[in-house]
Structure 1
Amino acid sequence: MNKHRPVPASLDDPLYYLENMDILVAWVADHHADLLTEQERSRLAAYTDLATGPRALLTRMVMRTGELFRADKLRYPELPVPESEALRILVHAGWLDPAPELSLDDLFRLFTLAELRPVFADWLQQQGHPKTLGKAQMRELLAEPFNAPRALGAWLPGGGEASNVVRLQDMALFDRIRLMFFGNLRQSWTDFVLVELGVQQFESVPFTSASRAFQQRAEVDCYLQMHACRERLDNGEPAVDVWPDVPGPVDNPWLTSRRDRLLLELGRQAERQGERELALEVWENSGHREARLKQLRLLERMKRFQEAWGIACQWRTSELSDAEAQGLARLLKRLAPKVGADQPEPVDNPPLQEFTLTLPKPDTGKVEWAALQHLGTDDAPVFYVENTLINALFGLLCWPVIFQPLPGAFFHPFHIGPADLTREDFVARRQQAFEQRFRLLDTGAYRREILDTFKNKQGIANPFVFWAVLDEALLELALHCIPSDHLEVLFRRLLNNIKEHRSGFPDLIRLVPEADHPEQRYEMIEVKGPGDRLQDHQVRWLQFFARQGIPASVCYVRWQDDEAIV
């Protein structure tokens, strides 16, 4: 495979978007050629052979919404040739259809009310309708008598060359290469083409045939089929009609996770549409972590208590995230009396450490900063870190694991982090590698590893590291004060559910480097101002801290002026 690492364009170049599109097309042609047909490879080669002006205009059209465009509305002054000349070349090369048939909806989308009124004025007048109708009203009246598509010249006789309409011919190909580049169709062209990628540094991850998410063309087709199903759901099509077209289970783990998400949404739609049995069937076939709880709650609403109880008891023995365990515990508590079972043993959560500060209300600034300034001393400085510090320590220690080139993790050279970061099997696929990094915590080598990575990877994008709020002095102090066994339990909980557990950390950390005992050298502090309360994910972190013996507390701030009023 081509080892060349592409260099993104600078925004100083008015055609920077074309350079970025060229990078994208070349990347797919280099790394996924075997997943393209001969005709598709030929079209991409033809794209590359286009002169700069036509290629830039084609890129602009691909990036826009829809496939139909008015020639007189295409205005891009940065093109090196007139738009009319670029259009002529694109039509001649087969990229554009110069005479597409247009539906009434197409016509009303492309033309203004002022342009359409003269076209239909006589007909409306003959039917007894006023000429001053709005666009929506006019469209509704015309829907039935003018339901057949026709060429623009038949809609607008004598409309002139300025009102020519063209249709993009190869959007299916461009969507396919967008999928192979991004690994999804959620991201638009503008997410890459119109971004100044050069302002950010990206980790250099080896890209090989074995690391690709798609190994066969059929897998690309499968994704496109699932995407079409999701679009049908989003457009309001009944779930019962979409379900037969959902691809069956696949061997590709990355595609399996996509299918699980599709089934989660299909079940939601089915339930909303009154198709409860379908929702149950769909959720039973989904491996998404939210699907099982939704299935159980629906069984409960359908009063199928015994069935729900049996599934819930079996599920209870699995490894669950805190949110799943909390939801399941509440469900079991409700179901127990319905099936004549004993109430499950309640979770014994230790009390949270809390204290109150009464401070003068500052003129400006957040309540966290007011607490920080009051609590911090020379011997025990306090830092506002929120979700940044523990995430960064984890990200720096586990850098080689995060950027391991596994299939479906990286699709192109501009990833901030692995594409499967929040997928169900992210940790399982890297379990051994994570364990190797965690063993450094036992030897003391983790401190040097983290600090060296901080220096060597400075500024390179990592989903756990926010460079703007980190400095070496804070890292060194934190590594001195936080015991390694505490770091390990924090990191392991983070991995238990990355999507959920990357947030919810306390706002402040107090570091006491001269304390006698390691457990007394730091404390995490969640700050709550007047009227503010703990959120569920914050409570779960605080309960975890209490169970693990990790020093943490909640600081409730009250303002002196408010107390004086009371």
Structure 2
Amino acid sequence: MLLLFLLWMVNQDKIILPEKYYLDNFRYVLNFVLGKYEPLLSSLELDFISTFMSLSEDAQCLYVRMSNRKGQFFRKEKLIYQEIINLDEAHEELLENNLLTKKTILEIEECFQLINIYTKPEIIQRLKALDFQIDKKLKKDQLILELLETCDLDLLTETFYSNSIITQSAKEELDMIKLFFFGHNHGDMSDFVIRDVGHAKFMEVDESKLGTSFDSREEAEAVMHLSQLSKEFYLLEEAVSPLSVYEWFKEIEIGYFLNMEKAKRRADKLLHKVGYHLEKHKHFDQALELYHLSSAAPLRERRIRIYNKQKDFDKSLALAQQILENPNDNKEYYIALDVINKLEKKLKTTTIRQKEGMVIPVDSSYQYRVEQGALAYFESLGYQGYHAENSIGRNVFGLFFWEEIFDPQYNSLHQPLQRNPSDIYGKDFYEKRKKAITDKLQTTKSKKQLAKVLKQSFKSYDGVANPFVHWEVSMMDAMWQFLAFAKLKQIKALLAEMAIDPKNRSTGFPDLFVWREKTYSFYEVKSPNDHLSEKQLFWLERFDEWGIHSEIALVEWH
């Protein structure tokens, strides 16, 4: 599907990429990683790069073509590429250099992948030789699973593996090289194509000023290992009991990863996934044991929810008070506040605010487009407006602080296809840039000066990927309309608030922005069954504090 999408994009703009564009990009990645990370690469990874570079161009093309496809096994007769002159010779060369292999013993998962490269009719045809009775009505995946459960693996391997099957080697080495290049495990070589056909623009940064994704081999291996553990968890949660998952997790030295800066965020995610899996199945003591290992969001919130289910309100209250003193984010703060309010027989803070909302009549034909229905209501009263949601605040922030976000001095830009600085959602984003952000806000003395900064960013970077900026014309228009009404001190307060925690404070803004003559308002739209979230309450309260008019619009169907 991705390949078809990319081909469609190329045809749309009539951009013809060089015949071996994918090989050029692959070589670029290898040379980039070798130049920047050579001291951190293992002997196997260095040997892989050296061996690959020594191959004929046909062999290089075949290897890259396979590495860009999903799966481990390929049928040689299905690999037809016009630019590879002699596929058989390329195949033999890769075999000789151990970049392809012939497997004789397969694990269950590998056997599944092998059989899966055949169509269902082909699978049934090959099974005839085994005189194996099978339900032909089964879907292909179910058919393969039944085979794995009832047939000998060696027999299945012998039946479906042939000399025409190509098996990629050095996958672990290549995965580690990609990790060094992209800085994460979900990097995709298709980003080069998306850039080259003009459907994504990335910040242009002098490569000599790019930082490094990892400072040590240990950090990279930790991130890779956590990625593998996460995949293993997804398999286990479907296949074994929750307590077996718990026993599996107990064998992991999670503290090692939690104490490593580059690995901690991923370790916290795995901790949350496993803990929540246990919690869902009512293994509360085991879940609490895991949640206690870190104070990262949302682990303390999960602990509170379990304490409340267990009616251990003393622990719930103590933790809530602890959170209020040093919350991770807005959601955690309001959840802690609600725990205290509940024990004092008060309504939830979000409930209190929602009850204060104004009721508006909306035609029931908008039942599945509630924001558009609310906007239509306000337009019937003579207002103009946008369903802008988070885009107004995010656009102002992204354009105003563009230079600060992407400044290479903060070692958060590591490669030329980076959409987001690596620290954009981390706790240290603000700490690194605090002086630059504060200075810029203090030296901005007028709305005219602020608008000049925004226009300059728009002119210089129009269309370039920025984690905050939504380039759609209507969203930019909504931003300028808001700025026409807002006071400078209100805009600066908004920017300063977002800068403290861009991850959690760049969402939750009201749905609609409407205006008529000299009046304007933001509206958070709620259908009868919808409830105000903690993030939404945060911005409504900040807008109240700064004098930015905002309300909750409670939809009543008509």
Q: TM-score, normalised by structure 2?
A: 0.79
State how 1:363-442 maps to structure 2 within 5 Å.
366-367=372-373, 370=376, 374=380, 385-405=388-408, 409-442=412-445
Tell me how far apart the structure 1 counterparts of residues 348 and 71 of structure 2 sit (CA, whole Å): 55
Any conservation in 1 of the 2:61–2:84 contact (CA below 8 Å)? no
Any conservation in 2 of the 1:358–1:557 contact (CA below 8 Å)? yes
Larger displacement relative to structure 2 (191-200 or 212-221): 191-200
1:199 match: secondary structure: coil
Cα gap change, 1:193 to 1:22, in 2 (>3 Å): farther
Cα gap change, 1:273 to 1:28, in 2 (>3 Å): farther
Q: 2:270 aligns with which of 250, 259, 262?
A: 262
Q: 1:526 aligns with which of 504, 523, 526?
A: 523
Any conservation in 2 of the 1:263–1:283 contact (CA below 8 Å)? yes
Larger displacement relative to structure 2 (172-181 or 10-19): 10-19
2:334 match: secondary structure: helix
Q: Given the alignment of the two structures, is residue 289 of structure 1 paired with residue 297 of structure 2, yes or no?
A: yes
Cα gap change, 1:252 to 1:465, in 2 (>3 Å): same
Aligned AA (2:64): T
| Number of the residue aligned with 2:241 | none
How big is the shift at 1:355?
7.2
Cα gap change, 1:511 to 1:100, in 2 (>3 Å): farther
Any conservation in 2 of the 1:528–1:555 contact (CA below 8 Å)? yes
Any conservation in 1 of the 2:307–2:316 contact (CA below 8 Å)? yes
| Number of the residue aligned with 1:551 | 549
Q: Given the alignment of the two structures, is residue 240 of structure 1 paired with residue 240 of structure 2, yes or no?
A: no
Tell me how far apart the structure 2 counterparts of residues 276 and 33 of structure 1 sit (CA, whole Å): 46
Cα gap change, 1:40 to 1:463, in 2 (>3 Å): same
Tell me how far apart the structure 1 counterparts of residues 511 and 114 of structure 2 sit (CA, whole Å): 56
| Number of the residue aligned with 1:166 | 166
| Number of the residue aligned with 1:181 | 181
Cα gap change, 1:263 to 1:432, in 2 (>3 Å): farther
1:417 match: secondary structure: coil
Cα gap change, 1:485 to 1:534, in 2 (>3 Å): farther
Tell me how far apart the structure 1 counterparts of residues 556 and 168 of structure 2 sit (CA, whole Å): 62
Tell me how far apart the structure 2 counterparts of residues 555 and 482 of structure 1 sit (CA, whole Å): 21
| Number of the residue aligned with 2:21 | 16
What do the CA deviations read for 1:176-219 (whole angstroms, capped 9, x no partner)? Answer: 12212222213444455566464332223455688323101111
Any conservation in 2 of the 1:212–1:407 contact (CA below 8 Å)? no
| Number of the residue aligned with 1:449 | 453
Q: 1:55 aligns with which of 52, 60, 69?
A: 60
Tell me how far apart the structure 1 counterparts of residues 357 and 130 of structure 2 sit (CA, whole Å): 77
Tell me how far apart the structure 1 counterparts of residues 476 and 231 of structure 2 sit (CA, whole Å): 47
Tell me how far apart the structure 1 counterparts of residues 405 and 148 of structure 2 sit (CA, whole Å): 57
State how 1:88-103 maps to structure 2 within 5 Å.
88-98=92-102, 100-102=104-106
How big is the shift at 1:423?
3.0
Any conservation in 1 of the 2:362–2:373 contact (CA below 8 Å)? no
Tell me how far apart the structure 2 counterparts of residues 257 and 62 of structure 1 sit (CA, whole Å): 28
Q: 1:31 aligns with which of 32, 36, 47?
A: 36
What do the CA deviations read for 1:363-411 (whole angstroms, capped 9, x no partner)? Answer: x99446645755668xxx7566443232212112111221133667333
State how 1:254-333 maps to structure 2 within 5 Å.
254-272=262-280, 275-319=283-327, 321-333=329-341
How big is the shift at 1:94?
1.9
Tell me how far apart the structure 2 counterparts of residues 261 and 277 of structure 1 sit (CA, whole Å): 19
Cα gap change, 1:488 to 1:139, in 2 (>3 Å): closer
Tell me how far apart the structure 1 counterparts of residues 445 and 531 of structure 2 sit (CA, whole Å): 34
Tell me how far apart the structure 2 counterparts of residues 55 and 212 of structure 1 sit (CA, whole Å): 27
How big is the shift at 1:472?
8.4
State, as a whole percentage, how many aligned pairs show the same letter: 20
| Number of the residue aligned with 1:211 | 211
Any conservation in 1 of the 2:528–2:556 contact (CA below 8 Å)? no
Any conservation in 2 of the 1:506–1:538 contact (CA below 8 Å)? no
Q: Given the alignment of the two structures, is residue 109 of structure 1 paired with residue 116 of structure 2, yes or no?
A: yes
Any conservation in 2 of the 1:264–1:283 contact (CA below 8 Å)? yes
| Number of the residue aligned with 2:91 | 87
Aligned AA (1:440): T
Any conservation in 2 of the 1:67–1:168 contact (CA below 8 Å)? yes
Any conservation in 2 of the 1:57–1:79 contact (CA below 8 Å)? no
Larger displacement relative to structure 2 (525-534 or 394-403): 525-534
Tell me how far apart the structure 1 counterparts of residues 18 and 540 of structure 2 sit (CA, whole Å): 50
Larger displacement relative to structure 2 (484-493 or 136-145): 136-145
More helix, by proportion: 2
1:294 match: secondary structure: helix
1:245 match: secondary structure: coil
Any conservation in 2 of the 1:233–1:239 contact (CA below 8 Å)? no
Number of positions where the alignment pairs a residue of Structure 1 with one of Structure 2? 524
Unpaired segments ≥5 residues, structure 2: 1-9, 238-244
Any conservation in 2 of the 1:356–1:557 contact (CA below 8 Å)? yes
Unpaired segments ≥5 residues, structure 1: 1-8, 337-341, 513-520
Tell me how far apart the structure 1 counterparts of residues 282 and 554 of structure 2 sit (CA, whole Å): 46
Q: TM-score, normalised by structure 1?
A: 0.78
What do the CA deviations read for 1:230-279 (whole angstroms, capped 9, x no partner)? Answer: 11111115132123224414554332222222211121123345543332
Any conservation in 2 of the 1:529–1:558 contact (CA below 8 Å)? no
Q: In angstroms, what is the RMSD of aligned CA positions?
A: 4.0
Tell me how far apart the structure 2 counterparts of residues 224 and 475 of structure 1 sit (CA, whole Å): 41
How big is the shift at 1:298?
1.5
Any conservation in 2 of the 1:210–1:407 contact (CA below 8 Å)? no
Any conservation in 2 of the 1:261–1:286 contact (CA below 8 Å)? no
Tell me how far apart the structure 2 counterparts of residues 258 and 278 of structure 1 sit (CA, whole Å): 20
Any conservation in 1 of the 2:387–2:512 contact (CA below 8 Å)? yes
Cα gap change, 1:99 to 1:343, in 2 (>3 Å): closer
How big is the shift at 1:55?
2.0
Tell me how far apart the structure 2 counterparts of residues 555 and 273 of structure 1 sit (CA, whole Å): 37
Cα gap change, 1:116 to 1:201, in 2 (>3 Å): closer
Aligned AA (1:329): L
Who wins on radius of gyration, i.e. which is larger? 1
Tell me how far apart the structure 2 counterparts of residues 133 and 383 of structure 1 sit (CA, whole Å): 51
Tell me how far apart the structure 2 counterparts of residues 274 and 386 of structure 1 sit (CA, whole Å): 37
Tell me how far apart the structure 2 counterparts of residues 549 and 95 of structure 1 sit (CA, whole Å): 65
